[in-house]
Amino acid sequence: GNSVTQMEGPVTLSEEAFLTINCTYTATGYPSLFWYVQYPGEGLQLLLKATKADDKGSNKGFEATYRKETTSFHLEKGSVQVSDSAVYFCAAMAQKLVFGQGTRLTINP
Amino acid sequence: DVKVTQSSRYLVKRTGEKVFLECVQDMDHENMFWYRQDPGLGLRLIYFSYDVKMKEKGDIPEGYSVSREKKERFSLILESASTNQTSMYLCASGPLGTSGVFGPGTRLTVL
């Protein structure tokens, strides 16, 4: 079956640092790929997505590129803010959505 | 904006009780999903439904059932709650073939 593996957390960074959260997937065919964010006390929100190889999803300064050759969809942001502190989930969708285990990110001022 | 609402944000129940978690969406979506979220395990799919009265088992259906009598409402039922069902439950809905919009979640504690 499909599976998603993402970088274990927690991750703690200082404000304005560069962020990478790794995500790799295994799937038959070419799934759509997603990053979701969960702020404290809230449900999940779609952050960005990519539906085919070499697509780049972007939103709120975050980016991720669908890399078919490495089966990866790493999340990046050039300069993080305290307000980016949240749990981030990578997900892949073929027939159904499969999530990674989540990465808790804390940004210190 | 698409809205997915869940009946309770926090719920405390006792072992053996029957528990109903309700989810309502207002955008006429075909697909609706129930997940549970546990630390270190991410989100795991319990059940999903792609039409009224239709349901499909997800990855961890044991101990749960669902009901979808109307398109906008998808209920998750714990017939006899157990302590290992203490978790955050998330509902999502979306058009066919999409990942869906999530509700705010219900944190269930079973004592």
- Rounded Cα gap, residues A96 and A1, in angstroms: 11
- State whether A99 and B42 contact (CB < 8 Å): yes
pLDDT band of A8, cuts 50, 70, 90: confident
B99 closest CB neighbour out of A97, A100, A101: A97
Mean pLDDT in chain A? 92
- Rounded Cα gap, residues A19 and A62, in angstroms: 9
- Name residues 63-92 of chain B within 8 A of A (Cβ): 90, 92
pLDDT band of A80, cuts 50, 70, 90: very high
A93 closest CB neighbour out of B37, B42, B99: B99
Residue B1 is predicted with a pLDDT of 64
Q: Rg of chain A's alpha carbons, rounded to an integer?
A: 13
Mean pLDDT in chain B? 91
Here the contacts of B55-61 (C-beta below 8 Å, separation 24 or greater) are B58/A96, B58/B33, B58/B34, B60/B36
> Token pair 């809230």 is at which residue?
A42
Query: Using the 8-state DSSP alphabet, how is residue B41 labeled?
Result: T
Tokens, residue A23: 């995500």
Which residue from B minimizes the CA distance to A5? B42
Closest CA to A72 of A23, A106, A33, A9: A23
- Rounded Cα gap, residues B41 and B50, in angstroms: 25
Residue B99 is predicted with a pLDDT of 67
Q: What is the DSSP string of A57-106?
A: EEETTEEEE-BTTTTB--EEESS--GGG-EEEEEEEESSSEEE---EEEE
- State whether B42 and A102 contact (CB < 8 Å): yes
User: Is residue A36 predicted with pLDDT exceeding 90?
Assistant: yes
> Token pair 């998750």 is at which residue?
B76
- Rounded Cα gap, residues A105 and A88, in angstroms: 7
Positions in chain B whose pLDDT score sits under 70: 1-2, 96-99
Best mutation target among B43, B55, B56 (most A Cβ atoms within 10 Å) is B43
Single-letter code of the amino acid located at B99: S
Region class of A16: left (phi > 0), else alpha (psi between -120 and 50), else beta: left
